[in-house]
Structure 1
Amino acid sequence: MAVTDPVDTRLLAALADLGKAAVHELAAKVGMDPREVAYRLVALSGSGLPLLVGVESDPQGLRAAIAGSPPSWANRPPQQFPPPPSQPVPQQPAPPMPPPGPHGVPSGPYNVQGAPSGPYNVQGAPSGPYNVQGTPSGQYPGPPPRPQQQRPPQQFAPPPAPVDPVVSTWGLPQTASWARGDEPARPAAPAGGKQGRIREVLETQGLEGEQLSVQLLEVQDPADYLFSAAGYRLEEGERSVVVHTEITNRGAIPFVSLPDNYLELLAADGTAIGKAPVSLTSRPPHKIGVQPGETLGGHTVYVLPDATRVVSVRWSPRPEPDERTLIWSIED
C-alpha cells in the first residue's frame, strides 16, 4: 500500500526509526497531539501496513476500577442462544412422485437436501403431493422464467507498480529533492497572532497551555555554501535558507514538541514553505522538548526556488495558524 498523506508519511518514518514506542513518545518525536497520532496509527494499521497498535495496562488496577464503579452492563443476565442444529441426515434419493398434476408439481423424481430415505413428516408441510415453488424438473404450463439481465464485465484498474517509499517521498538521497519538506508549498492561511520584526521576542502559548517566548535571531539567505558543506546538492534554480530561532519556556508545563516543527517561511505571494528534513553540522538543529525555565536554540533549513522572495517567518504550535501564531517580518 502506498502512503500519500504527508503527515502519515512523517509519522511512519519516525516510527520506523524507533521500531517500538508508546503513542505519547511518538507524538513528542513528531510534534503532534497524541490523540491525533493514535487515530492515524489505528487507521493505518487497518489499511494493510505492517503496523500493530497495542495497549498495555495494569490488570489488577483495571479490575479494581471496574469493581469500584460497575458499568451498566455488569448486572445484565447472560445472553441466551438457541441450541445448535442436529447433525444433517445424509442425502438419499426420494421415492418417485405421482404423475404431473396441478401447476408447479414436479414431473419426476428429485432430491431434497437433508431428507431421510423413508417416510417422514415435515413441520408445516402437507402429507401428500404439494407444490414446490420454482423447482420443477420437467415441462410445466405457465410463463417461462425471466432471463437474468446481462451485466457488462466489471473493469479493474491494474495494480500500481511498487515504488521505494523513501525515494517516492524524499527523492534520491543527497539531492535537493530529498532535502525538501514532506509537505508541498501551500498558500499561507491568515493568522490572528502576534507580529514583530527580526530579533524581537514574541510571547505565546503551546497546545497544552505552555507559556512560551520565541525569538527570531537570524535568517541566512542564501545559505548554499552551508548546504553544500554538509554534503547535500542543490538542483538547478534552487537555493537554501537557514533560520536561527530560540525558545524559552516561562511556565510550569513542559513543552514536549519539536520547537521548529511548524516554523515556515512566507513568500511575497503568500506561499508557506515548510522546512527541509536535513540538519547541518555547522548549525545544530532544534531538539525535542523544552523544560520549564529552560531556553534552547536551533537552526532550521529550507530549500526553495531561487526566484522566491521571502518576506517573513511564521511560528505556530500546530499545522494551521491560529491566535497563538507568531510572525516576524524580515524585510527592511
Structure 2
Amino acid sequence: MAVTDPVDTRLLAALADLGKAAVHELAAKVGMDPREVAYRLVALSGSGLPLLVGVESDPQGLRAAIAGSPPSWANRPPQQFPPPPSQPVPQQPAPMPPQGPHGVPSGPYNVQGAPSGPYNVQGAPSGPYNVQGAPSGPYHVQGTPSGPYPGPPPRPPQQRPPQQFAPPPVPLDPVVSTWGLPQTASWARGDEPARPAAPAGGKQGRIREVMETQGLEGEQLSVQLLEVQDPADYLFSAAGYRLEEGERAVVVHTEITNRGAIPFASLPDNYLELLAADGTAIGKAPVSLTSRPPHKIGVPPGETLGGHTVYVLPDTTRVVSVRWSPRPEPDERTLTWSIED
C-alpha cells in the first residue's frame, strides 16, 4: 500500500525511527495532537501496513479506580454563615495602611476588608484565647480587629466527614509485562488463555462452503471460509514476528457479503475462532501480516470483503473447525466450518 498523505508519511517516518513508542511520545516528536495521532495510526493499521496500535495497562490499578468512591467534598453539608450584625457599619472606609512584607500592614491599622467598628471577624474568638496555630504571645491573628472589642461567642468547629481516598495502584514489575516482549509470539498471543468452547449452535458446514446468517442489527450476511493455512510459521516470520519454542502460527482467510440494506459496522473477524479437538476456543492474535491483508471494519450493503486472521497456538493443539459469530458467545446466528477430512 502506498501512503500519499504527507501527514501520514511524516508520522510513519518518525515511527520507523523510533520502532516502538507511546502515542503521546510520538505526537510530541512530530508536534501533533495525540488524539489525531492515535486516530491516524488506527486507520493506517487497518489498511494493511505492518503496524499495530496497542494499549497496556495495570489491571489492578484500573479496577481500583473504577471501584473508588466519589470525592468526599461532594457530600459535605453547605457551610452555614451567621446573620449580619444588627448595628450598621460606618460608611467611612478605614484608611489604607502602608504595606509591609508580603502584603501585611506595617502599623496598628485594620486589615483591608475587615470591619472598622466594634465587630469581630467571622469565626474569630471573642476572648483572650489564641487561635489554633497562632503565636502564644500578645499577637493578633491576621485579619482580626486590633482592639478588645466584644463580639458573639465563638462558634464550635464544623464537623466534616473524614476524606476518603482510593487505594494507590500496585506498581508494575518493570521486568514483567502483560504482553511480553514486542515482536514475539507471547506478545501476539495476549494474556488470556484458551477458554472452553460453548455448546455448538447455528449452522454447520465444511471449508469453502458459503453460509448465510444475520448480524446483531439484522444485517443479512453471507460468510465463506476460503482457506486455512496450518502451519503458517513462514508468513509469521516474514512479517517480523518470532514464535516461541513449541508454538505455531495459523492463518485463516474468510470473506463476508452484505446481502441486505443495513450496513455491517463491525470488524468481520472480531469473533472468528479456532476450535480445538479438546473443545477449547482459540481467539485471534492482535497482529497483521504484510503478505495477507487483514479485515477492515464495516461491510456496506451489496459488497463482498475479505481478509486474513492470524492465530498463535501450541504445536500439539489439533484444530478441527473454525467458528464465526457476531457476538462473543455462540447462538443461533453462529456459523461453524469443519476442516477435517
How has the CA–CA distance of structure 1 residues 329 and 21 changed in structure 2, closer, same or farther, with 3 Å as cutoff? same
Is 2:205–2:211's contact at 8 Å kept on the other side of the alignment? yes
SS of equivalent to 2:103: coil
Is 1:223–1:240's contact at 8 Å kept on the other side of the alignment? yes
Is 1:92–1:116's contact at 8 Å kept on the other side of the alignment? no
Deviation at 1:33, TM superposition (A): 28
How has the CA–CA distance of structure 1 residues 35 and 212 changed in structure 2, closer, same or farther, with 3 Å as cutoff? farther
TM-score of the superposed pair, with normalisation by structure 1: 0.54
SS of equivalent to 2:64: helix
Deviation at 1:170, TM superposition (A): 1.9
TM-score of the superposed pair, with normalisation by structure 2: 0.53
Most deviating of 265-274 and 28-37: 28-37
How has the CA–CA distance of structure 1 residues 282 and 232 changed in structure 2, closer, same or farther, with 3 Å as cutoff? same
Match of 2:74 in 1: 74
Is 2:114–2:143's contact at 8 Å kept on the other side of the alignment? no
Q: Which runs of 5+ in 2 are unaligned?
A: 131-140
Q: Which runs of 5+ in 1 are unaligned?
A: none
Most deviating of 3-12 and 170-179: 3-12
Most deviating of 247-256 and 131-140: 131-140
Deviation at 1:257, TM superposition (A): 0.3
Most deviating of 319-328 and 164-173: 164-173
* CA deviation map 1:63-93 (0-9, x unaligned): 9999999999999999999999999999999
Distance of 1:67 and 1:254 partners within structure 2: 37
Is 1:264–1:274's contact at 8 Å kept on the other side of the alignment? yes
SS of equivalent to 1:60: helix
Distance of 2:75 and 2:306 partners within structure 1: 58
Distance of 2:59 and 2:98 partners within structure 1: 72
How has the CA–CA distance of structure 1 residues 172 and 133 changed in structure 2, closer, same or farther, with 3 Å as cutoff? closer
Most deviating of 37-46 and 287-296: 37-46
Superposed CA RMSD:
15.6
* CA deviation map 1:282-316 (0-9, x unaligned): 00000000000010000000000000000000000
Is 1:249–1:295's contact at 8 Å kept on the other side of the alignment? yes
Is 1:106–1:137's contact at 8 Å kept on the other side of the alignment? no
Aligned residues between the structures: 331
How has the CA–CA distance of structure 1 residues 37 and 173 changed in structure 2, closer, same or farther, with 3 Å as cutoff? closer
Distance of 1:15 and 1:265 partners within structure 2: 33
SS of equivalent to 2:286: coil
* CA deviation map 1:97-117 (0-9, x unaligned): 999999999999999999999
Most deviating of 123-132 and 238-247: 123-132
SS of equivalent to 2:274: strand
Distance of 1:146 and 1:70 partners within structure 2: 30
* CA deviation map 1:21-66 (0-9, x unaligned): 9999999999999999999999999999999999999999999999
Deviation at 1:273, TM superposition (A): 0.2
Is 2:64–2:167's contact at 8 Å kept on the other side of the alignment? no
Distance of 1:276 and 1:88 partners within structure 2: 79
Is 2:283–2:311's contact at 8 Å kept on the other side of the alignment? yes
Most deviating of 75-84 and 280-289: 75-84
* CA deviation map 1:261-291 (0-9, x unaligned): 0000000000000000000000000000000
Pairing 1:11–2:20 present: no
SS of equivalent to 1:314: strand
Is 1:106–1:138's contact at 8 Å kept on the other side of the alignment? no
Distance of 1:80 and 1:147 partners within structure 2: 12
Most deviating of 81-90 and 100-109: 100-109
SS of equivalent to 1:68: coil
Deviation at 1:171, TM superposition (A): 1.3
Match of 2:243 in 1: 234
How has the CA–CA distance of structure 1 residues 204 and 198 changed in structure 2, closer, same or farther, with 3 Å as cutoff? same
Distance of 2:247 and 2:105 partners within structure 1: 83
Match of 2:23 in 1: 23
Most deviating of 191-200 and 54-63: 54-63
Most deviating of 147-156 and 248-257: 147-156
SS of equivalent to 1:61: helix
Most deviating of 258-267 and 82-91: 82-91
Is 1:260–1:315's contact at 8 Å kept on the other side of the alignment? yes
Most deviating of 148-157 and 201-210: 148-157
Is 2:76–2:161's contact at 8 Å kept on the other side of the alignment? no
Is 2:247–2:315's contact at 8 Å kept on the other side of the alignment? yes
Distance of 2:170 and 2:240 partners within structure 1: 31
Distance of 1:149 and 1:73 partners within structure 2: 14
How has the CA–CA distance of structure 1 residues 119 and 78 changed in structure 2, closer, same or farther, with 3 Å as cutoff? closer
Deviation at 1:168, TM superposition (A): 3.1
